[in-house]
A and B are shown apart, each in its own frame.
Chain A
Amino acid sequence: MPAPTPASATEPTPDQARALARTPRQCVRHGFLQALPFILVLLPFGLLFGVVASDAGLDLAKTMGFTVLVLAGASQFTAVQLMTDQAPALVVIVSAVAVNLRMAMYSAALVPWLGAARPRDRAWVSYVLIDQTYALSVQHYERNPRLSMPQRLGYFLGAALATCVPWFVAAALGAIMGQAIPESWALDFAVPITFIALIAPALRSLPHLVAALVAVTAALVFAFLPSGMGLFVAAPLAMASGALTELALERRRARIGASLP
């Protein structure tokens, strides 16, 4: 499948020419170096997950089971928090998977670039498809539309090595350190703070703000329901409110646009 090539890309820029000249091995190195700054975020998050999981009663094997098999921070925190609340297993599973629904969008966004790769290459790419590798690779592919498939895969592999390996190491360290952290550190509140931190940057958009407010209100109103079930009412309500607000904004913009001379 040919990658989408903008008409202006006939003459490669110096940057593009340099990218095209890299061997696949050099592409791995390039992706690795470009992804390294993310360690600053991933290390503390991974450490925190290890600490919180061991605090919740998970041993090292289970903490690493989560980290290696799920490989998605917000989802791992969601599962551990709901398990601490003794939610039914099905509620834990559905909620933790729901947090990852955005991954399906990432998967769709990579099809034009990696859809023609061998099935086994698409299989490992899917495993390490996280926020950071997605964002970096799509940017890189769009900037250099004429890369060969081995060059694209090499870059993705490099970015994945620089992000996923530190995530594993940090979670393991956190799980080992976790037992030594005293209760006075109030780490019970690290999970709520982490979730707030993941969401707050998106609140500048009105539909996201509406969705978050509906989620908070509904979660408090339906808190009397058995543990975890309030979430099943609040989250769909919030998602629908966000989507409807977005639709209303789009319609209003279209109306204003149409009324202009």
Chain B
Amino acid sequence: MTYSDPTIWGIIIAIGLGTYGLRWSFLGALGNRPLPVWAQRLLRYTAVGVLPAIVAPLVAWPAATQGQPDPARLFAAAVAIVAGVATRNALAAILSGMTALYLSLYLIG
């Protein structure tokens, strides 16, 4: 990465303040005011909207293979999804995905 040191610290502090603001929001300031139903509905899908959108290009065009689709990484991602859905356990999904990656990198070369 090519950001200057002050930029990186600025990013860290801004994310820290924003996150603290969210945690403190109702407990510290808004109190018992109910969150509108439509807002609750949208908030439920923030993580599932943001994380897959970051992951998809990384899986389809990995930087490690200069952006060329890579069978080993596609396979590893598929294994992680299946393991995560089947076990509902994030750690099991990570271990299965990385094992699948090492195994296929070793076999395919």
Given contacts A101-B22, A101-B43, A126-B27, contact A70 B49 (CB under 8 A): no
Inter-subunit contact A195/B51 (CB<8 Å):
yes
Residues of A within 8 A of B60 (CB): 220, 223
A111 to B28, CA, bound (A): 9
Q: How far is the CA of A1 from the CA of B31 in the complex (A)?
A: 11
Q: A104-B35, A127-B23, A198-B90 are in contact. List 11 more A-B contacts (CB 8 A).
A: A65-B12, A89-B11, A99-B50, A107-B25, A107-B28, A129-B27, A192-B77, A201-B90, A201-B93, A215-B51, A235-B50
Does A243 contact B47, Cβ atoms closer than 8 Å?
no
Instruction: Tell me which residues across on chain B come within 8 A of A247, comparing CB atoms.
Output: 41
In the complex, chain B residues whose CB is within 8 Å of the CB of A219:
52-54, 56-57
B18 contacts A93, C-beta separation under 8 Å: yes
Q: Are A96 and B15 in contact (CB under 8 A)?
A: yes
* Contact count A vs B, C-beta below 8 Å: 287
Also in contact, A99 and B91, with CB within 8 A (given A69-B16, A89-B3, A104-B26): no
Interface size class of B (residues with CB under 8 A): 35 or more
- Contacting pair B52 A215 (CB below 8 A): yes
Contact B49 A236 (CB under 8 A): yes
Q: Kindly list chain A residues whose C-beta atoms are within 8 Å of the C-beta of B83.
A: 197, 200
| Residue-wise interface mask of A (218-251) relative to B, using a CB-CB cutoff of 8 A (1 in contact, 0 not) | 1110010000001100111111111100110000
* Contact (Cβ within 8 A) A199 B52: yes
B40 touches A (CB below 8 Å):
yes
Nearest opposing residue in chain B for A61, CB measure: B9
Interface: B68 (CB within 8 A): no
Q: Does A98 contact B (CB under 8 A)?
A: yes
4 closest Cβ pairs, A-B complex? A200-B84, A242-B45, A69-B16, A238-B49
B45–A199 CB distance below 8 A = no
Residues in B with CB closer than 8 Å to A238 are 45, 48-50, 52-53
Distance in angstroms between the alpha carbons of A28 and B59 in the assembled complex? 43
Is the pair B20, A127 in contact by a Cβ cutoff of 8 Å?
yes
> Does A146 lie at the interface of the complex (its beta carbon under 8 Å from any beta carbon of B)?
no
Interface flags, A76-106, vs B, CB<8A=1, else 0: 0011011110100100110111111111111
Given the known inter-chain contacts A219-B53, A231-B53, please indicate yes or no for A103 contacting B23, CB distance below 8 A: yes
Residues on B with beta carbons closer than 8 Å to the beta carbon of A129: 23, 27
The answer to whether B80 and A97 touch across the interface, beta carbons within 8 angstroms, is: no
Is A75 located at the chain interface by the 8 A CB criterion? yes
Query: Given the interface contacts A99-B47, A204-B85, A243-B41, does A123 sit within 8 Å of B28 by beta carbon?
Result: yes
Name 10 interchain pairs, CB-CB below 8 A, sorted by A. A100-B18, A126-B24, A127-B23, A193-B97, A195-B54, A197-B90, A216-B52, A219-B52, A243-B45, A246-B41
